[in-house]
A and B are shown apart, each in its own frame.
Chain A
Amino acid sequence: DAGVIQSPRHEVTEMGQEVTLRCKPISGHDYLFWYRQTMMRGLELLIYFNNNVPIDDSGMPEDRFSAKMPNASFSTLKIQPSEPRDSAVYFCASSFRRDRVTEAFFGQGTRLTVV
């Protein structure tokens, strides 16, 4: 398996623009997580899905952030409008609930810079 695939790897955008981050989870996995990593706040869970349904979005910082999972093989995280403080590395991870243990597999991340 190719693992969790995220695109783009790097994104530079101007403040106010819309940004869409994409994720393809590992085939057969039923959980998908979006994390944000910054120096100041570390790894924060933004939202996660189970069987394409959002379960917990309490980590989404503002209404400017939205996430969708239209099918089992694709998810997006959208920021509209983007702000400089959104600059971070965004990770997508997926897992399969085997024996009630969540072992998450991470993508390479998208480094977002908002100028």
Chain B
Amino acid sequence: AQSVTQLGSHVSVSEGALVLLRCNYSSSVPPYLFWYVQYPNQGLQLLLKYTSAATLVKGINGFEAEFKKSETSFHLTKPSAHMSDAAEYFCAVSGNYGGATNKLIFGTGTLLAVQP
């Protein structure tokens, strides 16, 4: 079975500070990993995805994430937080089953607050 664990349901940073949102995965097959962002009263929007190419993945809005197999982690970072980054962030995993299920399993989410 696949799963992701997001450490910290709430993270607060100051504007201009580093953003670090943590995600650890569990998967019996090589995983595909995703970060999604959800703004209030909106659907989820893809930030970035890891597909077994480069381990450092760059996404939209200045976010990036690094896949570390030894740590089973896929943490999301941004060097300098902006007020507009305040949202809920979800890590997700799907399996590389080579023809079987492609369903996404989501973590419980991390609500990011950015203080002026």
Q: Which residues of A does B touch, CB under 8 Å?
A: 4, 31, 33, 35, 42-43, 45, 48, 50, 55-56, 91, 93, 95, 97, 99-109
Asked if B90 and A43 make an inter-chain contact with CB atoms under 8 angstroms apart, the answer reads yes
Asked if A42 and B44 make an inter-chain contact with CB atoms under 8 angstroms apart, the answer reads no
Segment among B13-21, B67-75, B104-112 that sits at the interface with chain A = B104-112
Asked if A48 and B103 make an inter-chain contact with CB atoms under 8 angstroms apart, the answer reads yes
Q: How far is the CA of A23 from the CA of B101 in the complex (A)?
A: 21
Q: Which residues of B does A touch, CB under 8 Å?
A: 32, 34, 36, 42-46, 49, 51, 90, 94, 96, 98, 101-109
Partner of A109, one of B43, B98, B102, B106: B43
Asked if A95 and B43 make an inter-chain contact with CB atoms under 8 angstroms apart, the answer reads no
Asked if A103 and B43 make an inter-chain contact with CB atoms under 8 angstroms apart, the answer reads no
**Residues of B close to A93: CB separation below 8 A:** 43-44, 104
Asked if A101 and B103 make an inter-chain contact with CB atoms under 8 angstroms apart, the answer reads no
Known: A33-B103, A100-B98. A106 touches B43 (CB 8 A): yes
Known: A100-B96, A101-B49, A106-B44. A43 touches B103 (CB 8 A): no
The residue of chain B having its C-beta at the shortest distance from the C-beta of A41 within the complex is B108
Q: How far is the CA of A89 from the CA of B98 in the complex (A)?
A: 32
Asked if A33 and B43 make an inter-chain contact with CB atoms under 8 angstroms apart, the answer reads no
**Residues of A close to B105: CB separation below 8 A:** 45
A18 CB → nearest B CB, Å: 25
The residue of chain A having its C-beta at the shortest distance from the C-beta of B108 within the complex is A42
Most buried by A among B43, B44, B101, B108: B43
Asked if A91 and B43 make an inter-chain contact with CB atoms under 8 angstroms apart, the answer reads yes
Q: How far is the CA of A91 from the CA of B51 in the complex (A)?
A: 24
The residue of chain A having its C-beta at the shortest distance from the C-beta of B44 within the complex is A106
10 contacts between A and B (CB under 8 A): A42-B106, A42-B107, A48-B103, A55-B101, A91-B44, A101-B51, A101-B94, A102-B94, A102-B102, A106-B43
